[in-house]
């Protein structure tokens, strides 16, 4: 059995708007194992992004607990949470937030410099290695307006991985990309996961989610079901000895059928 690296216990999130309570998350209970690739799906307004932000400590919880790397996030102050996010979490968003006055390379190395775990030379070397693996080394000196959307999102992935995070949180990382760039970014997420990084991703795309080990389906802030697909090519992957394209098609069809049963 793999160790649990992230767990939500009776997690609730309530917003008060004009005197009315909006219960966005309702007693969420879930566990994420080390090395898993988990996707969160559900209709618009179901609380997917709120769950991602709350379980990563980016947003406050109203009630319940989140245990990350053996620590209760509800008992940590903002300074402690900020340090936790910097050192042990990586983030990718649909909107590719980067500092406009910095080059692609400078954006990637900045969290590494802030962490101070190794020398700046070592951070620079790791950034270059990541950019080569992601196929964007030629963009190192460019401004963020001088690269394609797919290149920029891969740069965001490199930045998210610079401190070797325990968990990578991704909120619709392919949502603003065309189909080709989406598959390229997804391929890199899968590679990061295979190298040992746990991935928790919000997505609306069946094609993207089909590469996940497990899918959690959310409706009105409550977990309605889970589908286990297993890791691609592993003994628990039911697609057998087929090409990558065939395996993904089989997994996508299985996921689509399940989502239809869930009311997708």
Contact yes or no for 14/45 (Cβ under 8 A) = no
Q: What 3-state class would DSSP assign to 16?
A: strand
72 pLDDT more than 70 = yes
The percent of residues above 70 in pLDDT, for the chain, comes to 97
For residues 146-169, one letter each, b for 16 or more C-beta atoms within 10 angstroms of the residue's C-beta and e for the rest, the string is: ebeebbbbbbbbbbbbbbebbbbb
CA-wise closest residue to 170 among 57, 37, 259: 37
Question: Residue 235: its pLDDT value, please?
Answer: 62
Q: Which fold has domain 4-261?
A: Rossmann fold (3.40.50)
Q: Which residue has the higher pLDDT, 162 or 232?
A: 162
As a whole number, mean pLDDT of residues 124-147 equals 96
Contact yes or no for 121/101 (Cβ under 8 A) = no
Question: Residue 18: its pLDDT value, please?
Answer: 85
State the Cα angle at 62 between 11 and 98, rounded to 5°.
90
The residue ranges of every structural domain in the chain are 4-261
- The pLDDT-based confidence of 153 (bands split at 50, 70, 90) is very high
CA-wise closest residue to 175 among 93, 102, 106: 93
**Residues 82-135: tens digit of each pLDDT:** 999 999 999 999 888 899 999 999 999 999 999 999 999 999 999 999 999 999
Q: Which residue has the higher pLDDT, 97 or 148?
A: 148
For residue 70, count other CB atoms closer than 10 A to its CB: 9
The percent of residues above 90 in pLDDT, for the chain, comes to 84
């Amino acid at each position: 059995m793999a160790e649990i690296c992230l767990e939500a216990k009776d997690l609730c999130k309530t917003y008060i708007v004009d005197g009315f309570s909006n219960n966005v998350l309702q007693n969420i209970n879930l566990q994420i194992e080390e090395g898993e690739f988990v996707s969160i799906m559900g209709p618009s307004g179901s609380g997917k992004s709120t769950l991602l932000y709350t379980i990563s400590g980016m947003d406050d919880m109203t009630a319940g607990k989140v245990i990350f790397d053996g620590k209760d996030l509800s008992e940590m102050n903002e300074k402690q949470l900020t340090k936790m996010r910097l050192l042990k979490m990586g983030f990718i968003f649909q909107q590719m937030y980067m500092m406009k006055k910095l080059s692609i390379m400078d954006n990637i190395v900045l969290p590494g410099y802030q962490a101070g775990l190794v020398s700046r030379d070592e951070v620079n070397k790791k950034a270059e290695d990541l950019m080569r693996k992601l196929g964007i080394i030629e963009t190192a000196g460019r401004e963020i307006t001088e690269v394609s959307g797919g290149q920029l999102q891969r740069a965001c992935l490199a930045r998210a991985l610079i401190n070797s995070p325990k968990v990578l949180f991704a909120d619709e990382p392919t949502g603003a990309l065309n189909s080709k760039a989406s598959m390229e970014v997804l391929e890199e997420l899968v590679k990061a996961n295979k190298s040992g990084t746990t991935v928790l991703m919000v997505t609306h795309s069946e094609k993207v989610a089909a590469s996940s080990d497990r899918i959690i389906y959310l409706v009105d802030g409550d977990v309605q079901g889970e589908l286990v697909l297993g890791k691609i090519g592993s003994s628990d992957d039911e697609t057998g000895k087929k090409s990558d394209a065939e395996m993904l098609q089989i997994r996508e069809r299985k996921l689509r059928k399940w989502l239809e049963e869930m009311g997708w």
